[in-house]
Structure 1
Amino acid sequence: MMKKQWLWWSMMGLSMGTVWGQRNVKDIKKDFLNPKSTTVLVASHRAAHNQFPENSIPAIKEAIRLGVDILEIDVKVTSDGVPVIMHDGTVNRTTTGKGKLEEMTFAQLNQLFLVENGKATTEKIPTLEEALLLAKGHILVDLDLKTDKMDAVLEVIQKTKTEDIVIFFDSDYEILKYVDKKNKHYMMMPRAHSLSEADSAIALFEPEIVHIDFSFYTPEVVGTIKKHSSRVWINALGPVDAALRAGKTDEALGQLLKHGANVVQTDEPELLLKLLKERKIHL
């Protein structure tokens, strides 16, 4: 009997793949908020969309399965007040329809299907509520705010009781000020475009993390951010992800980590997680 049980659990471990190595969201958040942590965290851009439509339910499930730390998704709000997950201003590129998303009702959007590699799928545009309920208990969520209709967004977060996993990201500091005023416990990620802007963001929000880019990725900038116990977010998107795909791992990591960034957003979460684990800089 014991042998049969052992065999069943072994088969389950193989079938579930990397999900067994995933930390729960409490451990991820504890690490995320720990200024002394040496872990480099991985954020999956528009969910894990290499085999699935971007910002889709299957892509969210895949990010969770892989053991990604932070799920990056884009939120917009329909004309009748329903927050949904979509990057572009229009639905033209990613769905079977055409038009500006925020001028459409949810019922209209629900008639459309997501597109993958130019082909229609059976997947619908997810609501923010669906996405957050999937993420709850598993993964932190970076909400890239593509809307100024924040009351509708905040209502869904409160309804799903996911205040503890959401990180609000925007370059519009007025939007972030509005969110911060609503709840001082929300995690914030202002986008900075210079050292002076990073300084301003820190003074305004005391953020958990600051989003920077390679144009001003310097030891001074990183030191300024970390001095205030914030994490430093950098993107691998584009050339660095291309280097990862090409197997140029030293080149890729060298660019990403040379000055101490400790959260990396990527379109290649599986490759990056494997590499960071091999280098002992991800748990």
Structure 2
Amino acid sequence: MKQLILTVSLIASVQAFGQSKKLNVLKVSTPQQLQQYFKYTGNDVPLISGHRGGPDKNAPENSIEAMANTLSFTPATFEIDPRLTKDSVVVLLHDDTLDRTTTGHGKLNSYTLEEVKKLKLKDVNGNVTPYQIPTLEEVIVWAKGKTVLILDKKDVPLSITAKLIKKHHAEAWVMITVHNAKEAKFYYDDNKDVMFEAFVKTKKALEEYEKAGIPWAQIMAYVGPQDKPENKEIFDLLHQRGVMCMISTAPIYDKLPTAEERAKAYVQIIKSGADVIEADRAIEAAAAVRSLAPAKSKKTKFFGKK
């Protein structure tokens, strides 16, 4: 009952946060539609994923408020970071400590959910906001019909993540980050509908996914954080298999000092062959690459307003 009250309270808070804003949503309601959304066709709209939920001023990382803020500007998926509390509840937090992004101190796993819910989140400038750390279940419930969540691997056992996706029948809007073919095979053997953001940085890694029998239709490939000529070989191999390729701009290009430099980098990444940009500055990245979208693409059917 306490968990239900927390969920209802959080959703009401987010509705108030974005009540005057229409959201740009992804119209994906089945696992097959999610596979089509990420299928490489050669005539695709550049896609945006908000790293750590796409944080911004007054919109803390790994919060529903940050995701709602991003969706008020652009459709996007969101990479988020599930971790366990002391009482084994899955919540969103990137670090294993609370200090950087919350009003708490010390290790997350020394706090119960009840204690975590008394804390407030800090935004990208370190300012304290009214917002709380959400549970993963709260985020899954909120995201349905709006966006797609991509769960990074932190300290949550693979079996718990798999169980949560099954509990909410969330295969259409919750994806899993896997670092290797072994992790992908665990999830795929458990659930044939699950979709992956898979680390495929090398030809060897590609061959390992194929050997494990993971369908390429259920993979969107993370190729790395750098736009470099050496990416072309892996881009070509993945595109031949109908797989979209993602570059994460968070470690390097999001940190460029001016908006102009960042925009130039985002555009070049797409022109170099990437199909998806995962950015801390998701709103900036979306604006920069919008003009690169083809005049006609079957992918536009997945974009809507709510």
Give TM-score scaled by structure 2 length: 0.77
Question: Does 2:95 align with 1:88?
Answer: yes
Task: Give the whole-Å Cα distance in 2 for the aligned partners of 1:244 and 1:232.
Answer: 26
Task: Give the whole-Å Cα distance in 2 for the aligned partners of 1:58 and 1:125.
Answer: 10
1:32 pairs with one of 17, 28, 37: 37
Task: Give the whole-Å Cα distance in 1 for the aligned partners of 2:174 and 2:257.
Answer: 28
The AA in structure 2 aligned to 1:98 is: H
For residue 188 of structure 2, give the secondary structure of its aligned residue in structure 1.
helix
What is aligned with 1:139? 147
What is aligned with 1:41? 47
Task: Give the whole-Å Cα distance in 2 for the aligned partners of 1:231 and 1:154.
Answer: 24
Distance verdict in 2 for CA 1:279–1:216, change over 3 Å:
closer
Tell me the alpha carbon deviations over residues 246-273 of structure 1, each in whole angstroms, 9 at most, x when there is no partner.
2236731454124311111012222222
Runs of 4+ in 1 over 6 A off after TM superposition: none
Task: Give the whole-Å Cα distance in 2 for the aligned partners of 1:108 and 1:216.
Answer: 49
- Measured after TM superposition, the shift of residue 211 of structure 1 is 0.8
In the alignment, is the contact (CA less than 8 A) between 1:167 and 1:189 conserved in 2?
Answer: yes
What is aligned with 1:248? 261
Task: Give the whole-Å Cα distance in 2 for the aligned partners of 1:193 and 1:218.
Answer: 8
The AA in structure 1 aligned to 2:39 is: N
Percent of residue pairs bearing the same amino acid type: 25
Distance verdict in 2 for CA 1:58–1:248, change over 3 Å:
same
Matches within 5 A, 1:1-283: 16=21, 19=23, 22-26=25-29, 29=34, 31-36=36-41, 37-51=43-57, 52-116=59-123, 117-171=125-179, 173-204=181-212, 205-207=214-216, 208-213=219-224, 214=226, 217-242=230-255, 245-248=258-261, 251-281=264-294, 283=300
Task: Give the whole-Å Cα distance in 1 for the aligned partners of 2:262 and 2:106.
Answer: 41
In the alignment, is the contact (CA less than 8 A) between 2:77 and 2:150 conserved in 1?
Answer: yes
For residue 196 of structure 2, give the secondary structure of its aligned residue in structure 1.
strand
Tell me the alpha carbon deviations over residues 123-175 of structure 1, each in whole angstroms, 9 at most, x when there is no partner.
11100011111110111111112124233323332333322111110325443
Gaps of 5+ in 2: 1-19, 301-306
For residue 93 of structure 1, give the secondary structure of its aligned residue in structure 2.
coil
Distance verdict in 2 for CA 1:180–1:217, change over 3 Å:
farther
The number of residues matched between the two structures is: 267
Task: Give the whole-Å Cα distance in 1 for the aligned partners of 2:92 and 2:53.
Answer: 11
For residue 219 of structure 1, give the secondary structure of its aligned residue in structure 2.
helix
In the alignment, is the contact (CA less than 8 A) between 1:61 and 1:134 conserved in 2?
Answer: no
RMSD: 2.7
The AA in structure 2 aligned to 1:109 is: V
Tell me the alpha carbon deviations over residues 168-193 of structure 1, each in whole angstroms, 9 at most, x when there is no partner.
10325443332222102100122134
Give TM-score scaled by structure 1 length: 0.83
Task: Give the whole-Å Cα distance in 2 for the aligned partners of 1:155 and 1:23.
Answer: 24
- Larger mean Cα displacement after TM superposition, 158-167 or 48-57: 158-167
